[in-house]
């Protein structure tokens, strides 16, 4: 290969490296503002393919990773540690999927549902039977994106001010509108569920929406993975006794289960789900 060809190849490699660096910087900014973001959404915003995004994230020096279809930030000093954390996060996602697969089994054709926000409920929206006729009320962009692709589902999105931290919307008008909607089953998530101190989350702007759903739904079902049992977050939104079922993904320790003796726990263990 002559000198001119070598120079051309080097130029292309340099341009490619610069483009990858710019994409990573933009991805870090997106995730920094909005938290874990769908790969498809990142690809759309950066105007590249999902494969390009995944290839960028697979590089050993990438400060980002991809888990469960989401781009998220992992700030760690070595690739070995990054792998260990990614594996743990994947186990965490697996427990959420277990809970959501079990919770979705309680949905019936013709149901009117409220679906809460959060990384757990993304799995719930994905687990709904694809051809079932449903009405769904939600206030999260991530949930709306999944539900909007269902062929036989009427989608109602509560609007208002957008909160990137949880990809949710909030307004007083939305709370009032919620009171005029018929919801027979509300599926709610939580950052913590304690038999004495109740159910809590991390974001105070979610509290009013969750409480409106609890007030208006005929049946309320809490969906959490095992790590949420016995935990508390800053924003309390309900006592535990409003829920007819508490669906838990994973295998809680016996001492943790003893704390919830008498409560309507429905535990979905890994061995029970194909």
Claim to verify: residue 114 and residue 220 sit in the same structural domain: yes
Q: For 89-101, what is the mean pLDDT? A: 81
Q: What is the mean pLDDT of the chain?
A: 85
Q: For 127-137, what is the mean pLDDT? A: 94
Looking at residue 32, its pLDDT comes to: 75
Claim to verify: residue 39 and residue 124 sit in the same structural domain: no
- Asked whether the whole model's pTM tops 0.75, one would answer no
Our count of domains for the chain comes to 2
Where in the sequence is the domain holding 208, given as residue range(s)? 99-272
Q: For 92-102, what is the mean pLDDT? A: 90
Q: For 185-189, what is the mean pLDDT? A: 98
Looking at residue 83, its pLDDT comes to: 42
Confirm whether 86 is domain-assigned.
no
Q: What are the start-end ranges of the E strands in the chain? A: 37-38, 64-67, 70-73, 112-115, 134-138, 153-157, 161-163, 168-170, 183-188, 192-194, 198-201, 217-225, 235-238, 245-249, 265-268
Claim to verify: residue 185 and residue 65 sit in the same structural domain: no
Q: Report whether 219 contacts 184 (CB < 8 A).
A: yes
Confirm whether 88 is domain-assigned.
no
Q: Is the pLDDT of residue 178 over 50?
A: yes
Claim to verify: residue 233 and residue 163 sit in the same structural domain: yes
Claim to verify: residue 166 and residue 227 sit in the same structural domain: yes
Confirm whether 176 is domain-assigned.
yes
Q: For 162-174, what is the mean pLDDT? A: 88
Claim to verify: residue 147 and residue 217 sit in the same structural domain: yes
Looking at residue 163, its pLDDT comes to: 86
Claim to verify: residue 41 and residue 157 sit in the same structural domain: no
Q: Pseudo-torsion of CA 116, 70, 135, 213, nearest 10°?
A: 10
Claim to verify: residue 118 and residue 253 sit in the same structural domain: yes
Q: Tell me: the pLDDT tens digits for 51-90?
A: 898 888 877 777 777 765 677 765 443 344 444 444 444 5
Claim to verify: residue 13 and residue 146 sit in the same structural domain: no
Confirm whether 85 is domain-assigned.
no
Confirm whether 87 is domain-assigned.
no
Please report, for the domain that includes residue 257, its CATH number.
Answer: 3.40.50.1360
Record the tokens describing residue 121, joined without a space.
Answer: 């409920």
Claim to verify: residue 121 and residue 53 sit in the same structural domain: no
Domain endpoint, select from 75, 107, 129: 75
């Amino acid at each position: 290969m002559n000198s001119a060809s070598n120079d051309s190849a080097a130029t292309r490699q340099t341009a490619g490296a610069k483009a990858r660096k710019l994409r990573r910087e933009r991805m870090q900014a997106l995730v920094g503002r909005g938290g874990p973001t769908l790969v498809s959404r990142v690809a759309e915003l950066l105007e590249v393919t999902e494969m390009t995004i995944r290839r960028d994230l697979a590089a050993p020096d990438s400060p980002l990773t991809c888990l469960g279809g989401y781009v998220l930030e992992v700030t760690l000093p070595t690739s070995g540690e990054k792998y260990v954390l990614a594996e743990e996060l994947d186990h965490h996602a697996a427990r959420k999927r277990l809970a959501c697969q079990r919770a979705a089994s309680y949905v019936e054709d013709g149901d009117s549902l409220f679906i809460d926000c959060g990384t757990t409920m993304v799995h719930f929206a994905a687990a709904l039977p694809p051809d079932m006729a449903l009405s769904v009320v939600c206030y999260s962009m991530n949930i709306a994106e999944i539900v909007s692709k269902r062929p036989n589902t009427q989608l109602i999105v509560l609007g208002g001010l957008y909160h990137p931290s949880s990809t949710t919307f909030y307004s007083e008008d939305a709370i009032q509108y919620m009171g005029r909607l018929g919801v027979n089953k509300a599926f709610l998530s939580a950052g913590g569920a304690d038999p004495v101190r109740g159910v809590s989350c991390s974001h105070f702007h979610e509290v009013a929406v969750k409480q409106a759903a609890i007030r208006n739904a005929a049946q309320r079902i809490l969906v959490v993975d095992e790590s949420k049992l016995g935990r508390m977050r800053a924003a309390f939104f309900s006592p535990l006794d409003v829920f007819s079922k508490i669906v838990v993904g994973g295998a809680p320790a016996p001492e943790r289960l003893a704390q919830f003796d008498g409560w309507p726990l429905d535990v979905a263990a890994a061995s029970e789900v194909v």
